[in-house]
Structures are given as structure tokens and as C-alpha cells.
């Protein structure tokens, strides 16, 4: 690739991951010194990142990934290990999958709680109470002043409540606050200013909150 | 102490400062893992993929420049491209993966996507003319190369490239409210 050859439409193909390795390397080298092409590539990457963010999201597994050093290659005996695991499943370990799944669910809930607490501790926020909760229960929403994140906390919750965004005569479901013990927490790292939220029990609105920005 | 702004993070990342790398990982690890999982459909492979992609970024201090824009977008594309590359090499090795490459990827979804973002994406895609939307969807959702798409749609390669580029540009503009 000559210095004068800008990447043009290949910015989109790079961001979508459809180019071969040789072309990728030549673009990497070019954008390191060409600001207009770096900007064009950044715009294309923004489009792909938006598509990824709109797709299904998954919880990171429990273990902390060591970032600095590459992982060791998988040992050659992995197929044998897989066979052993399969055999173990056949002879009766299968029921433990149920408990593993419960652990994984609990872990995801804990990770969500930790992310919410981290956000609350490190960012300025506002708090608004939900109006209409039944006696003995309360609910609050804490949110970033720019509407970039929301934490909904329900106390005295006896069952799961759905959170919805009320707007333009419609409802957009945002998630479910599942009670653990007496408290249910829902963390929404959103990017929209939502001014009216409601908690739903099935199709019945239980409480609502008006948010100001 | 307040969390660094996106601009501060981008400046630190461009200067290859460790705190910026740690902060970017803390902030985006879930999204990066999802980007990998959506391509690979396997938790262990996705975790390895995120690790290897980030390790490569850390070892390439000039890979990211401020002109590139958002660190978040840069990292998502790094991880996703690593995942696509892995899936391609797997599919060269195994017939099973050849079949996976030819079919839409189906995952056991662990968590629903952001419904607002999903609605925005759906609306933005619906706004695209079919000649831009179809090749873009074939590239993003089916992992097809521009050469394969040109052959499948029986269009010249240059036409397909420019249509994908135009479609992605419009989509990026429509999703512009996404935080950097």
C-alpha cells in the first residue's frame, strides 16, 4: 500500500472483519500515520460497536482474566480430559449441572450488584423514589445526571417486578428486578435519558417514577 | 474519586498508560466478552479470545491513536475480528465448524440485549435500502467476506464494497447516540 492510498471503503470491511490478514496488516500500518483514514476507520468501528451493543449480552465467567501475559497453550491431553468428563457425566455427575447453573446465576447477580455499587460509589447521581409501592415496600432509582446509567433498588420485594420505560404511549421492557432476600436490584448501563419508569407485576403497573435531568 | 471521562480514557489509552488499559477493561469487559461470544458461541473460546486480543493490543502500543475515536469501538472491533479469525481457522480444520460458518450462529442466550439499542438498530437497519442492508447483514450476521457476498448477490466486488461502506456509515450515524 502506498502512502498516498487511503483506505476508502475498506474501512467498513476492516471493521466488519471480512478482510484477509494481509490487507488488515497494511491498513493497520497505514492508519498509524494517516489521521483522515484513522478517523474514517474509527467511524466504521463505531457502527459495528453499535451493532454489537444492540445484540445479546453475556456475563463474563467468574475467573479474573490475567491481561498482561498470553495464556499458556491448551495442553495436548484436553481430548482425553473431555472424554473423562463425558464418562463422568454418564455415571452420574449430571445432576450437579443443576447446581452449577444455580451458582452461575448467583454469580451473575453478584457481578451485577458489584458493577452497580462501583458505579454508585464512583459517579455523581440523583435519586428518585417510585410512587405507589405497597405498604412495607419501597423502590428508588439512582441514575447518572446525563442518563447514561440507572440502578433500581426495591426493598421489601416479595416477587420479581419488571421495569419498563414509559414513552410515546408505549412501554419498552428494560429488565426484571429479581429479589434476593428482601432486596431486588437492577443495573442498567443505558445511554438514554428516560424520564418515566414504571415497575410492573405482570401487566399491572405497581409504581412509577418521574426522573429529571 | 470520579471515574475518568471518555476523553481522559482515550488520551491515556493512546499514551499506552496502564491505568487506562485497566479502566477500559473494567468498563467494557462485558461488551467485549459478548462480542466474542456472539461469534464463537462458546464461553471458554470467547474468554480466551478476549484475553488474546487485549494482550495483542497491549503489546502494540501504536495500534490506537486519538484520531481513531472511541476506545470502546476500537476494542470491540479488535475482539470481534479476533473471534472471526478464530472461527475461520476452526472451520478450516473441522467439518462441524464448516457447517457452523454456513449457518446463522445460534447461541444459548444468557442475557437479553439492551432492548432500546435493539430497537434503534432494528429501526436503523430498516431505514437502509435493501441493496445496502442485505450485504451489510450478510457480512455482520453471517460472517461472509465481501468476495463471497459479491458472488452470492452476483454484483461486482467494488459495488458490494461501496454499498457495505455506505450502509455502515448510515448505521453508525443513526446509532450515534451510543456512548463513545
Banded model confidence at residue B167, pLDDT cuts 50, 70, 90: very high
Q: Do A47 and B172 touch (CB under 8 A)?
A: yes
pLDDT at A82: 63
Which A residues 95-154 touch B at CB under 8 Å? 108, 122-124, 148
The verdict on A165 touching B (C-beta cutoff 8 Å) is: yes
Phi first, then psi, for residue B41 (nearest 5°) are 65, 25
- In contact, A188 and A149? CB cutoff 8 Å: yes
Per-residue model confidence (pLDDT) at position B66: 92
> B128 φ, ψ to 5°?
-75, 140
Closest-CA distance of chain B to residue A160, Å: 16
Interface touch A41/B145, C-beta < 8 Å? no
Nearest CA distance, B144 vs chain A (angstrom): 7
Query: What is the pLDDT, as a whole number, of residue A199?
Result: 93
Q: Is the entire prediction scored with pTM above 0.90?
A: no
Q: Which residues of A touch B159 (CB under 8 A)?
A: none
Please list the ranges in chain A whose pLDDT falls under 70: 1-4, 59-112, 190-191
Supply the pLDDT for residue A160.
Answer: 86
B53-95 pLDDT tens trace: 988 888 888 889 999 999 999 999 999 999 998 888 776 555 5
Per DSSP, chain B holds a count of helices (H) and strands (E) of 9, 0
Multiple choice CATH, B112-180, 3.30.1360.10, 3.40.30.10, 1.10.10.10, 1.10.150.120: 1.10.10.10
Which numeric CATH code is attached to B1-111? 1.10.1740.10
Average pLDDT along chain B = 82
Question: CB B168 to CB A48 under 8 A?
Answer: yes
For residue A156, give every residue at least 6 positions away whose Cβ sits within 8 Å of its Cβ, in sequence order, or none: A133, A136, A137, A138, A182
Fold agreement (B1-111, B112-180): no
Task: Quote the CA–CA distance of B14 and B11 in Å, as a whole number.
Answer: 5
Domain parsing of chain B, residue ranges: 1-111, 112-180
Chain A: closest CA distance from residue B2 (Å): 5
Q: What is the ipTM of this complex?
A: 0.82
Which among B48, B76, B161 has CB closest to A49?
B76
**For residues B146 and A57, which has the higher predicted lDDT (pLDDT)?**
B146
A4 at B interface, C-beta within 8 A:
no
Q: Tell me: the pLDDT tens digits for A68-102? A: 333 444 444 555 666 666 665 555 555 555 555 55
- pLDDT score for A136: 84
pLDDT value at position B42? 82
Q: Is B2 on the interface with A (CB under 8 A)?
A: yes
Note the Cα A196 to chain centre separation in Å.
22
Residue B96 clears pLDDT 60, i.e. is over it: no
Rama region for A107: left / alpha / beta (φ>0; ψ in -120 to 50; rest) = alpha
- Please indicate if any CB of chain A lies within 8 Å of the CB of B8: no
Amino acid at each position: 500500500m502506498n502512502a498516498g492510498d487511503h483506505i476508502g471503503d475498506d474501512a467498513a470491511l476492516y471493521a466488519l472483519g471480512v478482510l484477509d490478514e494481509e490487507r488488515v496488516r497494511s491498513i493497520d500500518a497505514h492508519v498509524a500515520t494517516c489521521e483522515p483514514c484513522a478517523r474514517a476507520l474509527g467511524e466504521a468501528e463505531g457502527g459495528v460497536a453499535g451493532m454489537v451493543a444492540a445484540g445479546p449480552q453475556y456475563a463474563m465467567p467468574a475467573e479474573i482474566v490475567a491481561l498482561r501475559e498470553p495464556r499458556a497453550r491448551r495442553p495436548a491431553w484436553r481430548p482425553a480430559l473431555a472424554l473423562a468428563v463425558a464418562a463422568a457425566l454418564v455415571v452420574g455427575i449430571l445432576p450437579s449441572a443443576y447446581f452449577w447453573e444455580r451458582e452461575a446465576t448467583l454469580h451473575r447477580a453478584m457481578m451485577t450488584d458489584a458493577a452497580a455499587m462501583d458505579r454508585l460509589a464512583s459517579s455523581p447521581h440523583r435519586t428518585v423514589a417510585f410512587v405507589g409501592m405497597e405498604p412495607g415496600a419501597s423502590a428508588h432509582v439512582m441514575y447518572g445526571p446525563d442518563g447514561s446509567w440507572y440502578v433500581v433498588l426495591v426493598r421489601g420485594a416479595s416477587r420479581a417486578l419488571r421495569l419498563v420505560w414509559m414513552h410515546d404511549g408505549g412501554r419498552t421492557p428494560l429488565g426484571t428486578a429479581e429479589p434476593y432476600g428482601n432486596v431486588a436490584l437492577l443495573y442498567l448501563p443505558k445511554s438514554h435519558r428516560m424520564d418515566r419508569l414504571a415497575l410492573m407485576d405482570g401487566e399491572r403497573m405497581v409504581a412509577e417514577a418521574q426522573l429529571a435531568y | 474519586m470520579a471515574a475518568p471521562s471518555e476523553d481522559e480514557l482515550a488520551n491515556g489509552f493512546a499514551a499506552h498508560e496502564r491505568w487506562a488499559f485497566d479502566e477500559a477493561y473494567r468498563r467494557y469487559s462485558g461488551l467485549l466478552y459478548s462480542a466474542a461470544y456472539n461469534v464463537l458461541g462458546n464461553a471458554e473460546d470467547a474468554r480466551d479470545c478476549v484475553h488474546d486480543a487485549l494482550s495483542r493490543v497491549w503489546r502494540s502500543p501504536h495500534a490506537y491513536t486519538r484520531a481513531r475515536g472511541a476506545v470502546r469501538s476500537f476494542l470491540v472491533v479488535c475482539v470481534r475480528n479476533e473471534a472471526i479469525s478464530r472461527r475461520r481457522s476452526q472451520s478450516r480444520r473441522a467439518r462441524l465448524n464448516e457447517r457452523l460458518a454456513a449457518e446463522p450462529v445460534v447461541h444459548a442466550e444468557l442475557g437479553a440485549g439492551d432492548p432500546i439499542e435493539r430497537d434503534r438498530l432494528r429501526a436503523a437497519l430498516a431505514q437502509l435500502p435493501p441493496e445496502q442492508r442485505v450485504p451489510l447483514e450478510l457480512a455482520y450476521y453471517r460472517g461472509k467476506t465481501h468476495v463471497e457476498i459479491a458472488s452470492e448477490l452476483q454484483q461486482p466486488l467494488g459495488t458490494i464494497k461501496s454499498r457495505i461502506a455506505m450502509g455502515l456509515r448510515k448505521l453508525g450515524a443513526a446509532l450515534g447516540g451510543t456512548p463513545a
